[in-house]
Amino acid sequence: MATPPELPGLRYTRLLGSGGFSDVYLYEQDLPRRLVAVKVLASEDLSDASQAAFVAEANLMAQLSAHPYIVTIYNAAVAADGRPYFVMEYCSGPSLAEQYKRAPIGVADALRTGVRVTSAVATAHAAGILHRDIKPANVLTNNYGWPALTDFGISSAVDIELPVNTTTRDAMNAAGAATGTGTIGMSIPWSPPEMFDDHPQPDVRSDVFSLAATLYTLLVGHTPFEVPGKPNGTVDLIGRIERGTITPITRTDIPRSLVAILHKGMAASADDRFATAVDFARALQRVEMELSYAPTAIDVPNLTILERVHDAETADAGDATRIRGVATIHAQPAAPLPPVAGPQGADPTVIRRMPSVQPHADVSPWSENPEHTVVRPRAQGEPEPEPAAAPRRRLWPIVAGAASVLVIGSVVAAAVVFAPTGTDARPTPTASSDIITLGVPTPAAVAVTPSTDGSQVTFEWENPEPQDGDRFIWNRSDGPNEGAKTPTEHGLTTIEGVDSNTQVCVEVVIVRTSGKLSTEPLEMCSK
């Protein structure tokens, strides 16, 4: 380990980690009093080129430090011994690499983390920066369990041509067989195939590939092109990456829709991937809605964004992309509300942008859902319930706000806030009212029709009080065969491949464009 430098106003505590070109130390800052991480360029690598790259990384991180899911840089300077350094936020929690190596991460946590990290990457892209080294080890967590993207050391501008690779694949295999990290300044297991070309030309879709590969790793516990029990050296991994041979996911609690999203994100051809990081985040939000989780907000920079997004994936949702301000002040944490276990609207897309003005200090800085304010999200270490088999006749969740209810005598006054007219049909939150969704009827059963051979059953229902934009969500509900919640505009579904001697049941609710849904589901059974 290199000797930590003497730095003004900072007291050395311990080594946090070492890389190929720098060391990271923990220091205690005198004023303001706090722990900080200090990245110091290694003394043996003080060439003009390495110093320029080090300064460039500091400048890149300074551009992006306002984002809640990117490590904040405080200042940069040159130590008395000539080594450049920069002081940044100390993230005390484990990196995502440490977490997935302990155990695969739950679906709910992985989705929430995926959307947040993707919003950080989208912010870098909006600033014209490709990260080029997204992987679990480069996503830290802070005291509140928030992910924090770091290590922009090999980042590049979106529109520049990268240098030619001069390293052979045999050399990469010899250098990186043990760790999967080659000698061309990137992490092989999470890298897209275009990075292995002699003249690599990555774009934002290359970072999307690495995001999908990282999310796969969190869920499965190993990298997406690693085959347990077989050779997994660098050349082996590169061959599978170029062929698009993703190792199948065997976890039974991961919905097929999420598996399809990960496969699209890691498509061998960049043209087959999501076009932008925001598109990838929106796809993850839709899975959250499918599983009845509140969609995690996408935090994006203060850019000009169309209020309504017209694309094939959201046009039939009948709702607009909403843009909400995100404060940059740090308020005292409030007790977080439980996640809303129901769709928050026909289109789950929730995008926040970072304003250029500071709000008043009494404004809550982090708004996770348009229905209520959450100052601090659930810490990463707290358990998040996975979707469980639902009881046969359950009440569907009621969306409630996080504000206080005024009690006068024995009368409790709870305000119902209705969505405004216009392109955004979301309810508008108030500072002193609960938001309660009531009044959506239960679907009415029409018919249950088994096929002649008993191999399939058709269920038909109707909306007794239809309104414009109404949709249905149905799922199979017969014990262990309970399936994912599936949105549809039609009052009809057919279950195939059933045993004629087995009872088949479905549950159905109505979803309004405002996000309200039936308080009581309709249950229909074949026997």
The set of catalytic residues is: 132
* Helical pair 48-64 and 107-126, crossing angle rounded to 10 deg: 110
Cα-based torsion angle of the residue sequence 314, 319, 323, 327 in order, rounded to the nearest 10 degrees: -110
Q: Before 32, cis peptide (omega within 30)?
A: yes
Query: Residue 432 gets which letter from DSSP?
Result: T
The terminus-to-terminus CA distance of the chain in angstroms comes to 71
For 6, residues 6+ apart whose C-beta sits below 8 A from its C-beta are: 79, 80
Amino acid symbol at 514: S
SS3 category, 22: strand
3-state secondary structure of 346: coil
Which amino acid, residue 175? Answer: A
Task: Let me know the angle formed at the C-alpha of 38 by 190 and 16, rounded to the nearest 5 degrees.
Answer: 60
Helix (H, G, I), strand (E, B) or coil at 233: coil
Which tokens in the block code for residue 459?
A: 């269920």
Report the chain's C-alpha Rg in angstroms: 25
Instruction: Report the phi/psi class of residue 434: left, alpha or beta, with left for phi > 0 and alpha for psi in -120 to 50.
Output: beta
DSSP state of 128: T
Phi, psi of 63 (to 5 degrees): -65, -30
